[in-house]
Structure 1
Amino acid sequence: MNKIIVTDRRGARFGDFYGIFFEDLNHAADGGLYAETIRNRSFEFSPIDDPTYNGLTAWTAYEPEGTKVSLSVSRKAPASERAPHYLVLDVITDGTAAGVKNEGYNSGIPLYMGKSYKLKLRARADKETAVKVSIVSAVGDVYDSASFMLGSEWSEYSAVLTAAKDDHSARLLISMDTTGRACFDFISLFPEDTYRGRENGLRRDIAEYLEALHPKFMRFPGGCLIHDGSLNKDDRDSTYRWKNTLGDVMNRPPRRNNWRYNQTLGLGYYEYFLFCEDIGAEPLPVLPAGYNPHSGQGVPIDELGEWIDDALDLIEFANGGIDTEWGGVRASLGHPEPFGLKYIAIGNEEVGQGFFDRYDYFHKAIRDRYPEIKIINSAGPFNHGSEYDRGWASAKKNGSDIIDEHYYMTPEWFITNYDRYADFPADGTKVFLGEYASWGNKYYNAVAEAAFMTGLENAAHAVELVCYAPLLCNAQYVNWEPDMIWFDNHRVFGSANYYVQKLFMNNLPTYLLETEKEGLDSCRVIGPETIGGGLEITADRCSARFYDIKVTDIETGACIPCVDMALENESREIGSIDSRHYTVEFTAVRNYGDLGFKLAFAVRGEKDRIVWSIGGWQNQDCCIDKFEGHASCLTQSRFSVETGVEYKLKLEIDGRHITTYVNGVKMNDVEDRRQVNEELYFTAGIDDNTGEVIVKAVNVNETPVTAAVQCPFEGRVTAAVTELSGYGKDDMNSFEEPKKVYPTQKTVTGENGAIEYEFPPLCVTIFRIAKLENT
């Protein structure tokens, strides 16, 4: 009989192990978690955000029965100096109400019969003018309205509107019955029923999906938006600066989101801290370090003071007494009690020495003033290579408490590398896996991630924090896939990945328990033994010459003849080789263009190959990417191609080891591990609150496995079992079938501390095992 043996030997303690990561992409904030229903409420949309935007985006003239209006945007004598644009509405002809409509997000403004909506706006008029603000259907049916008499000075107006019926495609209409000019700014419509009823609050249905995960921490606000942009905090396209997000939402400055849309900053740092408090999650803010890795621009070292002060001030804002400057600001916003910040991260997916030169100063300043705060460094966006090593070297040099690793890989990579952290040391800097996902929302993606997560828990001696990414996606505004939770303006569903995350997060032990196994050794080896196949050279977004091309089988000494070639934004096959040990050598020169060269090897199909890129991603990288439907970056080094320079390039394959050289200098050095599927992936722990033993087991294979789960209990035991099983690899949730993939629950019992169980194909199974009383 196969056995999973759970001992009573305790391992690492699980602190704040699992959390969530909120980044404002896919309209995760505006048009998402942030409950505002009006799009472009302050007329601040700009081509800086997106080339298709202007100040009237989402607003259209309403001209019934031959009436005529004119719409324009002005910033003369604004209501807010920090958000200076406003709408000028000129009604040119008398008659039936004419004006302007807002279309909201997605199909429109979502209304629910009998529910109340809080309307706010700023307005003024050239003369005393009556205006009506209504919620209406797409064809103009009025559900409710409020009337105001405008004066000549900017004033704030408010009302509560009630929906007369359900309508997910409603509009907000502002209308006048007489000719004249009126000006409007900050036109806002919030559901009264926000999460926890908070003002300027969050969309309840999405927030409840997050709350149901029981996250121990929440990383915020990014992501690339924290460091991509201008280094001047007052610029429209500046990096994310937390102080811009405080105070009256009417006066928060608009900002470009680097995912090419607008940020109102309505969901700012204060709202973030409140939400963390509401869901019981530790805040984990991420701050920039005065360096933009996308452009290579950095604040001079002697001008870092403002940026370091931002980090220190944020800690004071979160933790300081009301007698401190920033603790006083927090109190003035309505929260005199400290938020109890424990973590702060400096940087996100950082590459280049420029960041790490600056990180040293942040680390020292924070450590000197706030030694209790855990400081998180960055290991970049790769799981291996020069920038990954640079991040870890910085962490060790500075004594960073934690380092943030990110990678997006294929399901096959996650299964193969489930034991990635097993041999990481227990002392020193701990790992924060701050972003990871397996390139899909299909059921198999979720199962593969679950297998990897058992390895994360088993490595809790080295891994301190973990969160999946991205978290949220508005289905009409997709920047990135996959995503954990999908929504539109009135619906929300969790992906298969969401339910795996929920199972693991809701069943986090207090301590890891050491496990052993008997049997369970029928591993399944997948894929070819060698890294062989077709060979293909590419000029990547450039014109280039390739010559002295030589393919050598080291085992036999045979050479494949190749001809010189000139390519422009195209690829060409140069042959094929199936050997355990071979080299490919060639010389390349870029004539013009902005990237470099690629050599594809082990080519077995368009999406089944390994690619060496020289001068990839903004001409900054030298990478090895393995394609198994999607890409896994096996390793990366910094490298840029220059026009007119001759590069002697060499790839060597020895077994499953890949080495590359540029002009004789080793650039990449990595092992491509062959996929070996274990019969079961498992981990166990003890919940000190309940006394239960928690066992998580994952079967990634398409055949069932029978095994006994042996616990350190005597006599009869009972287990609450929660399981995902019975689904095809490609099954996934959707708006039409939001719970197609959904956990089931049952209770099983066993004798002598053991439960015999048949693990179905492709299953994720959670046991909460307790000793039966009176046995």
Structure 2
Amino acid sequence: MTRGRRRRWRIGLGAAVGSLLAGTAVLPSSAADTADVTDAVDYTVTVDPSRTGAAIDDSMYGVFFEDINRAADGGLYAELVQNRSFEYATADNKAYTPLTAWTTTGTARTVDDDGRLNARNRTYLSLGAGSSVTNSGYGTGLTVRKGARYDFSVWARADSALTVTLADADGALATPKRVTAKGGWAKYTASFTATRASTTGRLSVATTRDAALDMVSLFPRDTYNGRANGLRKDLAEKIAALKPGFVRFPGGCLVNTGSMEGYDAASGYQRKRAYQWKDTVGPVEQRATNANFWGYNQSYGLGYYEYFQFSEDIGAMPLPVVPALVTGCGQNQAVDDDALLKRHIQDTLDLIEFANGPVTSEWGRKRAQMGHPKPFHLTHLEVGNEENLPEQFFARFKEFSAAIEAKYPDVTVISNSGPDDSGTTFDTAWKLNKDADVAMVDEHYYNSPQWFLQNNDRYDSYDRGGPKVFLGEYASGGNTFANALSEAAYMTGLERNADVVKLASYAPLLAREDTVQWRPDMIWFDDQKSWGSADYEVQKLFMRNVGDRVVPSTATSTPSTTAPITGAVGLSTWATSAAYDDVRVTGADGTSLLDDDFSGDAAQWTTTGSGSWSVQDGSYVQSDEAAENTLVTAGDPAWHDYDLHAKATKKSGKEGFLVAFGVKDTGNYYWWNLGGWNNTQSAVEQAVNGGKSTLLAKAGSIETGRSYDIDIKVRGRQVTLYLDGQEWGSFKDDKPAEPFRQVVTRDQKTGDLIVKVVNAQDAQARTTVQLGGAKVAKSAAVTTLAAAPDAENTATGTPVKPVTSTFAGVADTFSYTFPANSVTFLRIKKR
């Protein structure tokens, strides 16, 4: 995951493709109901079966799992008890205590002393005679289903009878169980059969004498594939239904944030440590918990063994990511400790042995002891994640790579290109990777729907002889069908370039509805149910209909116009206090459009965001250092071809200034972000319906207390930017956002020709399809996703879902009208 300034648009984004900024291949406004659309645009798709396109690997599309949005504990990991080992702490979340999610009666206290269960499971609960403890799960209570079986376990040190109950406010949900604990720490088990359903259940343990408890657990018997310590069935089934080619795990920021030192058994927890795989294997009661980067606790009950096992269960290639001793996600520090680096390299070699080694090897034996004597067939491994210090990262990556290739030459070692699709870090990282002839580079980017429609050709110009691309994280910034359409359009370009882009995964995978740190997400859930987003339906359609080889094809484009950039101007800050002065807007003919030296009031400015703006000593000051996106605007949205000048001074805070132009409204504008990303980078960003894309980026920072002269020259679609009188950069925003995209592939096994067409506009696409003499049957199986652009799948309804039909009019040249706002796959049988 990329963290930092992109957080501005991830929450509450409602992007719709049909209302892009004026002048950039403007699409018609959104239709309320695609059935009412009568307009049509004419296209021609021409297929050339005489030529051979790129081969597509079986692993082309996969999934990226990160423990974000409670994706693991409280999500995919089927454990129903929250904080089962009493290890929650303020290091995880300021609101946490060792008794979070628990209530007690009688005498009860949590203890961390030499009487603990083991060195890694340090805190336990001491219960006095006649006392009890009750757990409420992750939401309103434990969800149980009538007739379902549930397996209880607890580690206890006691000479006492323990009474275990499963109940809600209306009474018992199952017959209570009684277990007798005797002596030192031991594991005790029981099982329940629910006599009725409930979403507010509670699990309670009561004792007749003094007792110590730890690892209080309740699992549904019906986990995915019936595995103990298993996965929540409906979530695992939704992932399996995608038929992914790979599973990337354990995450993004989890991998390279926090201390690299790891767990210290002598001094107790090394809280907030980077994810290290050895912490996550072996008996669950011996796995240490950790503070999750996303603000909660992770138990590691779902660990590397379970990730490998799940990948195997669904027929996907496992693709683990290990830290490279350069932190990311806003931390941006390189760890200089040669001994620690060597340890991490050895840990990585041990990981490969754990996955692939014989049972006679140290780590292969540990895998066998966990229940899997056969190897997991690991073939790809990634080192690092989105490092923003490319030179420091790559120096360490080379040491990892050399050690892995020397011992395991058949394992592909994957590098990365930082957190963005362009900019200084990206360019530097790619040069380092290319010069070193790295096998594969992981790219990550989260952009607006418009960016995805504009950049279908991104990989057309990549070096065919250079490193291959793993698009490990991408999404368009929302879960509406408009977002999914733009991603589908982009995926046609990924397939067309399958000789370069070898792997691709939408991110993130899972989100618990009541615990969301990041939007958008592919699969959503609560304690009772789960549902796939519109993006999920697109990903599933592509994953299940990949094909083995691209059949070259072309399509005519959508007529478009190019109007000048128009809009008002704006000022903003982000976690920073700043002062602005001498704001002037002058037309290309010299006409004064705005001139404000703030010698009086700020009546010309409209506040649209947060923050505290006031005129102070002849400047317009935003004084709230904690406020994010404090945009104020002035002028006419119809302005075009003008010069904007402003003087800006940073007073305090984390970042710099944001000077906006081409402002249509709060979700549609450009701004020059000076000193963004924790004051490490400057960039021009474009917002379309709230979703941002970076148009130009450079490294750089803003000094506190220094006054800067900022000038922006807008002429047509051309923009030139000046800082203190020197040209900083320029760009021309004239790339069309093409709404009609296609790709054709062939399934070698069936001989099917798969024509995939995305029509991301409110007009139907009346299309002539020319198959170039391909020998095909007269009918095609059709799968269509069609909905209003703002349609969104939720817990209460899923308007975006596939519809299947048969089309009987296939010929060498035939006509097909693709619905407005649709993704359509035609599977045409070989004749």
Aligned to 1:141: 172
Does structure 1 conserve the Cα–Cα contact (< 8 Å) formed by 2:173 and 2:196? no
Pick from 104, 109, 127 the counterpart of residue 142 of structure 2. Answer: 109
Aligned to 2:132: 99
Aligned to 1:95: none
Counterparts of 2:734 and 2:252 in 1: how far apart (Å)? 29
Aligned to 1:605: 665
SS in 2 for 1:444: helix
Aligned to 1:3: 44
Higher relative contact order (CA 8 A, sep 6+): 2
Structure 1 unaligned runs (5+)?
A: 63-67, 93-97
Distance 1:91 1:611, change over 3 A: farther
Does structure 2 conserve the Cα–Cα contact (< 8 Å) formed by 1:541 and 1:568? no
Aligned to 2:60: 17
Aligned to 1:503: 541
Q: Which letter maps to 2:426?
A: Y
Equivalent residues in 2 for 1:471-482 (5 A)?
Answer: 471-482=509-520
Q: Bigger CA drift: 364-373 or 263-272?
A: 364-373
Aligned to 2:738: 677
- 1:261 is the counterpart of 2:305: no
Distance 1:23 1:279, change over 3 A: same
Distance 1:227 1:660, change over 3 A: farther
Does structure 2 conserve the Cα–Cα contact (< 8 Å) formed by 1:624 and 1:668? no
Pick from 598, 608, 614 the counterpart of residue 674 of structure 2. Answer: 614
SS in 1 for 2:553: strand
CA displacement at 1:391 relative to structure 2: 1.9
Q: Which letter maps to 1:592?
A: S
CA displacement at 1:655 relative to structure 2: 4.2
Does structure 1 conserve the Cα–Cα contact (< 8 Å) formed by 2:168 and 2:200? yes
Distance 1:319 1:730, change over 3 A: same
Pick from 85, 89, 100 the counterpart of residue 123 of structure 2. Answer: 85
Aligned to 2:29: none
Pick from 216, 219, 225 the counterpart of residue 187 of structure 1. Answer: 216
Equivalent residues in 2 for 1:113-124 (5 A)?
Answer: 113-124=146-157
Q: Deviations over 1:724-771 (max 9, x none)?
A: 12x21222222222x322101111223543443221111110111013
Q: Which letter maps to 1:325?
A: E
Equivalent residues in 2 for 1:335-734 (5 A)?
Answer: 335-353=372-390, 354-517=392-555, 520-525=556-561, 529-547=563-581, 551=585, 561-563=595-597, 565-569=619-623, 573=633, 583-634=643-694, 635-662=696-723, 669-678=730-739, 680-711=740-771, 712-714=773-775, 716-725=777-786, 727-734=787-794
Q: Deviations over 1:292-315 (max 9, x none)?
A: 133233221533111222222222
Q: Bigger CA drift: 577-586 or 439-448?
A: 577-586
- 1:735 is the counterpart of 2:795: yes
Counterparts of 1:340 and 1:612 in 2: how far apart (Å)? 48
Equivalent residues in 2 for 1:307-346 (5 A)?
Answer: 307-346=344-383
SS in 1 for 2:547: coil
Q: Which letter maps to 1:12?
A: A
Aligned to 2:90: 47
Does structure 1 conserve the Cα–Cα contact (< 8 Å) formed by 2:777 and 2:828? no
Equivalent residues in 2 for 1:237-276 (5 A)?
Answer: 237-276=272-311
Q: Which letter maps to 2:56?
A: F
Counterparts of 1:707 and 1:757 in 2: how far apart (Å)? 5
Counterparts of 2:181 and 2:727 in 1: how far apart (Å)? 72
Q: Which letter maps to 1:269?
A: Y
SS in 1 for 2:552: strand
Counterparts of 2:317 and 2:776 in 1: how far apart (Å)? 40
Distance 1:316 1:267, change over 3 A: same
SS in 2 for 1:341: coil
Q: Bigger CA drift: 701-710 or 472-481?
A: 701-710
Distance 1:669 1:212, change over 3 A: farther
SS in 1 for 2:374: coil
Q: Deviations over 1:345-385 (max 9, x none)?
A: 11212212432332232233323333322222222221111
Does structure 2 conserve the Cα–Cα contact (< 8 Å) formed by 1:404 and 1:432? yes
- 1:763 is the counterpart of 2:822: yes
Does structure 1 conserve the Cα–Cα contact (< 8 Å) formed by 2:451 and 2:693? no
Aligned to 2:37: none
CA displacement at 1:170 relative to structure 2: 1.2
Counterparts of 1:74 and 1:753 in 2: how far apart (Å)? 76
SS in 1 for 2:679: coil
Q: Deviations over 1:72-115 (max 9, x none)?
A: 444441012101101112246xxxxx511100122222212222
Does structure 2 conserve the Cα–Cα contact (< 8 Å) formed by 1:382 and 1:633? no
Q: Which letter maps to 1:163?
A: A
CA displacement at 1:242 relative to structure 2: 0.9
Distance 1:576 1:706, change over 3 A: closer
SS in 2 for 1:706: strand
Does structure 1 conserve the Cα–Cα contact (< 8 Å) formed by 2:168 and 2:202? yes
CA displacement at 1:332 relative to structure 2: 2.6
Counterparts of 1:104 and 1:363 in 2: how far apart (Å)? 43
Q: Which letter maps to 1:61?
A: T
SS in 1 for 2:419: coil
CA displacement at 1:571 relative to structure 2: 5.4
Equivalent residues in 2 for 1:161-240 (5 A)?
Answer: 161-176=192-207, 178=208, 180-234=209-263, 235-240=270-275
When the two chains are superposed, the root-mean-square deviation of aligned CA atoms in Å is: 2.4
Pick from 140, 145, 161 the counterpart of residue 130 of structure 1. Answer: 161
Q: Deviations over 1:158-188 (max 9, x none)?
A: 1222111222221111123x4x421100011
Aligned to 2:17: none
Distance 1:140 1:317, change over 3 A: same
Counterparts of 2:769 and 2:232 in 1: how far apart (Å)? 42
Distance 1:538 1:112, change over 3 A: closer
TM-score by length of 1: 0.92
Size of the alignment, in residue pairs? Answer: 751
Q: Which letter maps to 1:3?
A: T
TM-score by length of 2: 0.86
Does structure 1 conserve the Cα–Cα contact (< 8 Å) formed by 2:476 and 2:483? yes
Distance 1:113 1:348, change over 3 A: same
SS in 1 for 2:451: helix
Aligned to 1:65: none
SS in 2 for 1:740: coil
CA displacement at 1:398 relative to structure 2: 2.1
SS in 1 for 2:53: strand
Counterparts of 2:570 and 2:294 in 1: how far apart (Å)? 33
Pick from 50, 58, 63 the counterpart of residue 101 of structure 2. Answer: 58
Counterparts of 1:571 and 1:362 in 2: how far apart (Å)? 45
Distance 1:167 1:557, change over 3 A: closer
Aligned to 1:153: 184
Aligned to 2:338: 302
Q: Deviations over 1:257-312 (max 9, x none)?
A: 00000000011111100111110111111111111133233221533111222222
Counterparts of 1:541 and 1:478 in 2: how far apart (Å)? 21
Counterparts of 2:804 and 2:632 in 1: how far apart (Å)? 54
Counterparts of 2:536 and 2:660 in 1: how far apart (Å)? 35
Counterparts of 2:776 and 2:129 in 1: how far apart (Å)? 83
SS in 2 for 1:470: coil
CA displacement at 1:213 relative to structure 2: 0.3
Distance 1:375 1:539, change over 3 A: same
CA displacement at 1:675 relative to structure 2: 3.9
Counterparts of 2:223 and 2:746 in 1: how far apart (Å)? 37
